[in-house]
Structure 1
Amino acid sequence: PGPSLITAARHRARLAAGSADHFTGYGARQVLDAHPARLADLLMDRKRRHLVRPVAALAKADGSVMVPGRVYGAARRLARTPYGAGLEVLADRLMNQRFDEPGGAVGASLAALTWARPGPAARWLTGEALAEVSVRLQSAPSRQGSGPGQRPGDFRARAALARHANDLRVLEQAAEIRSQRLHTPFLDNQVVRACRSLPEALRVQPGARAAILRTVLEGAGVGDLPPGWGAPSHASAAAAARKGLRVAADPLMDLFATPLLAQAGLVEARVVRKALRAAAQGEPLPLDGLADLVSLELWLGRLLARRGTCWTGTPARARAVPEGIRPQRGALASG
């Protein structure tokens, strides 16, 4: 399952207008941009002065003089928090169903300054499901001191890149156009290494991603790019997702009339239908969380529909020589 399952039709319509080889920018943000948790890495490396530029950018976007203190405090707590303790905090949040997070760019950065946090769909899971996950986290071997072997920023950045790459594999299959090859150069191993080798001062700043892409293409002889190229807007994607939710509201109500997720005890159908209806009417609910629920329900339905159609081998009772009966020497070799 992956969020791409619910956007596959839209992407397939877009890809159908392309040629036999279609190049995409998937992964550019995860490879070139820095995860907010890197601020904790800077503190661990005693590079406090490197926090000035990203924190100043957040303060400018938020317009509050309290931003530097809040961000520095969160980064300092993360730098001093072992991985096992971070999992304990996550387990406590799940057990007590604490999902509220501050909004805006500063809020997103503060929420990301942790080893782990509840996923966007967690608020719609049942109490039993959340408690089960909480117990598993508390009993994880990682609590015994065997952490991920990485600093918080590196760990969160690699995890985000891995999730994005996995979802792209889902998209490649769900939105496949026959005789078309989908290329994602930013997820190539050599490109990832090249991007990571760039100095952070160069790539971690507003507009750096588009500037780096333009510089690379100019070096390859590609110029005269239109204004704004390489800097896609999140607002247009969010607006398209919300419009799609409004258009598909009725089919989604039918999908969650008797959902498989509810039969498994993971969600309550009534709660999910209420959330879908509210989001379609414009309430500020996390659309990525609803996308996770819808994609998982679709995946479960398709998984059950395929059961029994795969070759599993010849049953034992249909074999020519039943098990336990040893043929005489030479019997199977005779003409």
Structure 2
Amino acid sequence: PGMPGTLLGHGTGAGERLLAVTFNDLAVGGREAELERAGTLAANPRLHHVVVTGGEETLPYADLDGPLTDEPGPSLVTAALHRARLAAGSADHFTGYGARQVLDAHPARLADLLMDRKRRHLVRPVAALTKADGSVLVPARVYGAARRLARTPYRAGLDGLAERLMHRRFDDPGGAVGASLAALAWGGPGPAARWLTGEALAEVSVRLQSTAHRAGGGPGQRPGDYRARAALARHAADLRVLEQAAEIRSQRLHAPFLDNQVVRACRALPETLRVQPGARAAILRTVLKSSGVADLPPGWGTPTQATATAAARAGLRLAADPLIALFDAPLLADAGLIEARVVRKALRAAAAGEPLPLDGLADLISLELWLRRLLSRRGTCWTGTPARARAVPAGIAPQRRAVSSGG
């Protein structure tokens, strides 16, 4: 305390306790273990722990009014939650956003291991998927999909994706095994693709085929590395949407896991380590231990996505009526991208609990919201003064004028 460069805490003086914020979703629950771990860490006298509680007002889709962001993104439908959490933070707020995308191994990296003839390193991740699914057929299915991807050139992968879109062949939403099998490809239909019109899918299919024919030798990367970089790029782009949609005045949001040097360091980790179950927590514990932080509570570094999924379903159920009204006359339908009645039917089914891809519906809803905000802003932004047409007849020299430009 008092030394130059000391981090500021939640107050204004150097050396004050750092503010640690934990969000507790009361409308869904299931965060008891996370709160217990946070409380254990916050027992450090250098930390001031604040638990932000949120009810139905912070569920996804609870507050769909917000600013116009640079581009659409899934964060538009969860802005209320992030705004409540960030509002309790300091002038500089650090978040773990991006840790999963930077440290976890994309399922397509299993194909990279086969290309390097490192088959034995597939045993533990495949065993974990088998345990999660409970089927003895999982190892053969996963190994077969990874082997096909390892032998599939980039151009053939794009051609296959174009054909799938043309014939509307989509993977049914499933658990960890289904998601892993769907990810073992050069590319796949997005979660919202099943609700696009045939014309829109045909247009995307034609563009994919054109890209495949121009691809030549491909992106110069192996499939797992290629898919991991693409997933990280999409996630990082959505952080910019989150910053704008949930902006707190005079606050700077920092995501250290998306720092260039951190990303490079994580990319240098061997794939044989990254694909192992629990690799993210093991890596972070090793790094912190070397920095003098060793007494971490059990279960730290392995948060579950189940709570986020439950919150998304609960928010969709509570906001079903206004969301259905949003698609009474959607701009996406005017553009020929969707059929409004199809999306309304999907929203009713998802609100009733049917196993539909909720992230796909979030993509459609956020895009429709963004288009409406963009349209409402037309005519309200200065875009430059157009050049005035010359009113002087040809052949008559205009008189000189002294023009004074007022600031």
- Kindly report the root-mean-square deviation, in angstroms, between the aligned alpha carbons of the 2 structures: 2.5
- Residue in 1 that maps onto 2:10: none
1:234-287 per-residue CA deviation (whole Å, 9 max, x = no partner) reads 110001111111121121122111100011111111111111111111111100
Partner residue of 1:75 out of 126, 143, 146: 146
- Residue in 2 that maps onto 1:12: 83
Whole-Å separation in 1 of the counterparts to 2:191 and 2:344: 16
Whole-Å separation in 1 of the counterparts to 2:266 and 2:398: 64
- Residue in 2 that maps onto 1:269: 340
CA 1:32/1:326 → structure 2, altered by over 3 Å: closer, same or farther?
farther
1:121-147 per-residue CA deviation (whole Å, 9 max, x = no partner) reads 011111111111112212225455241
- Superposition map of 1:64-213 within 5 A: 64-101=135-172, 103-140=174-211, 142-143=213-214, 145-213=216-284
Give percent identity, aligned residues only: 84
Whole-Å separation in 2 of the counterparts to 1:323 and 1:117: 61
CA 1:321/1:50 → structure 2, altered by over 3 Å: closer, same or farther?
farther
Partner residue of 1:255 out of 326, 344, 352: 326
CA 1:102/1:276 → structure 2, altered by over 3 Å: closer, same or farther?
closer
TM-fit CA distance, 1:313: 2.5
What stretches of structure 2 of length at least 5 have no aligned partner? Answer: 1-71
The size of the alignment, in residue pairs, is 333
Residue 22 in 1 paired to residue 93 in 2? Answer: yes
CA contact (8 A) 2:109 2:275 kept: no
TM-fit CA distance, 1:197: 2.0
Residue 231 in 1 paired to residue 302 in 2? Answer: yes
CA 1:318/1:288 → structure 2, altered by over 3 Å: closer, same or farther?
same
SS at match of 1:296: helix
CA contact (8 A) 1:83 1:142 kept: no
TM-fit CA distance, 1:229: 2.8
Most deviating of 298-307 and 111-120: 298-307
CA 1:85/1:166 → structure 2, altered by over 3 Å: closer, same or farther?
same
CA 1:316/1:44 → structure 2, altered by over 3 Å: closer, same or farther?
same
Partner residue of 1:301 out of 329, 348, 372: 372
AA in 2 matched with 1:11? H
- Residue in 2 that maps onto 1:278: 349
TM-fit CA distance, 1:217: 2.8
SS at match of 1:51: helix
| Structure showing the higher helix proportion among its residues | 1
- Residue in 2 that maps onto 1:40: 111
TM-fit CA distance, 1:325: 9.1
Most deviating of 106-115 and 48-57: 48-57
CA contact (8 A) 1:316 1:322 kept: no
Whole-Å separation in 2 of the counterparts to 1:226 and 1:22: 23
TM-fit CA distance, 1:333: 9.7
Most deviating of 244-253 and 169-178: 244-253
Q: Tell me the TM-score normalized by structure 1.
A: 0.91
Whole-Å separation in 2 of the counterparts to 1:163 and 1:259: 25
Whole-Å separation in 1 of the counterparts to 2:330 and 2:378: 18
1:87-120 per-residue CA deviation (whole Å, 9 max, x = no partner) reads 1111111111111336221221111110011000
1:148-175 per-residue CA deviation (whole Å, 9 max, x = no partner) reads 1111001000000000000111001101
Whole-Å separation in 2 of the counterparts to 1:113 and 1:40: 8
Whole-Å separation in 1 of the counterparts to 2:219 and 2:213: 8
AA in 1 matched with 2:375? L
Whole-Å separation in 2 of the counterparts to 1:169 and 1:155: 22
User: Which fold has the larger relative contact order, with Cα–Cα distance below 8 Å and residues 6 or more apart in sequence?
Assistant: 1
SS at match of 1:22: strand
CA 1:76/1:204 → structure 2, altered by over 3 Å: closer, same or farther?
closer
CA 1:326/1:156 → structure 2, altered by over 3 Å: closer, same or farther?
farther
TM-fit CA distance, 1:323: 11
CA 1:37/1:316 → structure 2, altered by over 3 Å: closer, same or farther?
same
AA in 1 matched with 2:196? L
CA 1:89/1:327 → structure 2, altered by over 3 Å: closer, same or farther?
same
TM-fit CA distance, 1:46: 1.9
TM-fit CA distance, 1:49: 2.1
Whole-Å separation in 1 of the counterparts to 2:263 and 2:122: 24
